Structure 1
Amino acid sequence: MCAVTTAPSAPGPTGRWAVAPDGTRIGFDVAGDGEPLLLLAGQANSRDWWGPVRPDLAGHRTIAVDHAGTGASDDVADGEWSTRRFAHDAVAVLDELGIGRAHVYGTSMGGRIAQWIAVDHPDRVGALVLGCTSAGGLGTAPADRGILRTLAGPPGPARRELVRLMVGERWAGPLPVLGDASMTTRARAGHRRASARHDAWAALPGVTAPTLVLHGDADEYTPVANGRLLAERIPGAELVVLPGARHAYFLDRRRRASAEVLRFLAEHPLPAG
């Protein structure tokens, strides 16, 4: 099946494409050396989501992916927008690089995608890090409906609310987590459906990867109860709650969050060979 191409931008000087099973091109890039670490961004965002954080992870070979419909990737060809499909796309990136097993770090919708990689491709995952995310289905603690109404409303107030939810109104640093402006309307709608319909709750007890769950206790977008539910559902998972951190905890509590990720990966190195 041929992909619907939306004239994606070039992957960049260190970027390239993988090809998903349906022919969709998936953009990604690679930086650093060390054990491979797959980075999965949030809903409606490209790999730029990880820009400020990647230097912290330079002791690993980081692989940042553009989900279908973002960045250098094509839109989905057949209308199947789902977190499980995005997981298969990410595995196609590992295949393109000849990587048998990698650590996986997903935040927000990227954390939902990471859950499916761990469920469907357990032999491809070293350590698993799930940040500011949820299990879906019976394992969801929803956000306040007023927040969701504001985000669905006029662009100005919606953007201000998103900034507040991500990092707070006083944030002065770079903020690459507010969405990919190059996305088509179709892709944005697809991402919303994929994230909203995610439900890995029944499958999570089968996760075998060592798992770290990171969450901010001031996260109103994906309340911290979601992190607690995930950690209780995944066997042996470790939960770290970051005091005062909002949804983009990896930015507003960057030093602590990056240190926790690096500690956990060091405690669970990939098998030799």
Structure 2
Amino acid sequence: MVRAGGESDKPDLLYSTELFALDAIAVLDALGVERADVYGTSMGGRVTQQLAARHPERVRALVLGCTSPGGPHAVERTDEVRRSLVQTRPGAARRALMELMYTPAWPAANPGPYRTLGDPGMPAHAQRRHLAASNQHDAWQLLPGIGAPTLVPHGTDDLLNPAANAALLAERVPGARLHLIPGARHAYFEEFRAVASPLVLDFLTTVPQR
């Protein structure tokens, strides 16, 4: 969870993934946690790139799920996907987001609630600030400095954040391990939990203690 999500403060000021990483450090400090295993997906994955690169002493192991390095090196979603997310017909944008998150079989068998569709309590100014922070994220120059063991899981059928970004991250972060989940879309960690969760747990439990 990041600033403006859930019960956290919702200030109307400039947000950035670097700022969100500092928020994460503040939480670790408040909990008395010196080092943590960090798992971030999508926007959270962008934040954890900043966290691991700028505060390496706080990260033991890193998982970057369905995310992107941002900036000019990233593979952007298509214009068709962008247009689908800004439709004005009632419910159209939400249905488009559902299709990007899940295969058709998942919502048919799981009626919700779907927590991956955003925080309904987040005010409009915070949504705009989050979008700007995501769009301005560029960790390309920072990624080679990440020293934590890193796993990069991603769904092969992810159109919201194209799977080609996973390969970029895995190539850019020293020693990172790439794992593509066949048929999975953006919410691979939920719909394909039977594959994704054991994968991540196995990775974290085999990282040597340092």
CA contact (8 A) 1:102 1:270 kept: no
* RMSD after superposition: 1.1
Matched-pair identity in %:
51
Q: CA deviation at 1:80?
A: 2.0
Q: CA deviation at 1:213?
A: 0.3
CA distance in 2, matches of 1:228, 1:203: 16
Q: Are residues 1:83 and 2:22 paired?
A: no
The partner residue of 2:84 within 137, 144, 150 is 150
CA distance in 2, matches of 1:99, 1:68: 19
Map of 1:96 onto structure 2: 30
1:91-114 Cα offsets, whole Å, 9 max, x none, are: 110000000000000000000000
CA distance in 1, matches of 2:104, 2:92: 13
CA distance in 1, matches of 2:101, 2:159: 9
CA distance in 1, matches of 2:39, 2:80: 30
CA distance in 1, matches of 2:165, 2:116: 20
Structure showing the higher helix proportion among its residues: 2
Q: Which structure 1 residue ranges, 4+ long, deviate > 4 Å from structure 2? A: none
- Residues 117-128 of structure 1: matches in 2 within 5 Å? 117-128=51-62
The one-letter amino acid paired with 1:196 is: N
CA contact (8 A) 1:141 1:225 kept: yes
CA distance in 1, matches of 2:17, 2:209: 25
Map of 1:266 onto structure 2: 205
Map of 2:63 onto structure 1: 129
CA contact (8 A) 2:103 2:184 kept: no
Q: CA deviation at 1:269?
A: 4.3
CA distance in 2, matches of 1:162, 1:200: 26
The partner residue of 1:253 within 188, 192, 196 is 192
Map of 2:120 onto structure 1: 181
Structure showing the higher strand proportion among its residues: 1
Equivalent pairs, count: 205
Q: CA deviation at 1:67?
A: 1.2
Structure 1 unpaired stretches of 5+: 1-65
Higher RCO, 1 or 2 (CA under 8 Å, sep at least 6)?
Answer: 2
Q: TM-score, normalised by structure 2?
A: 0.94
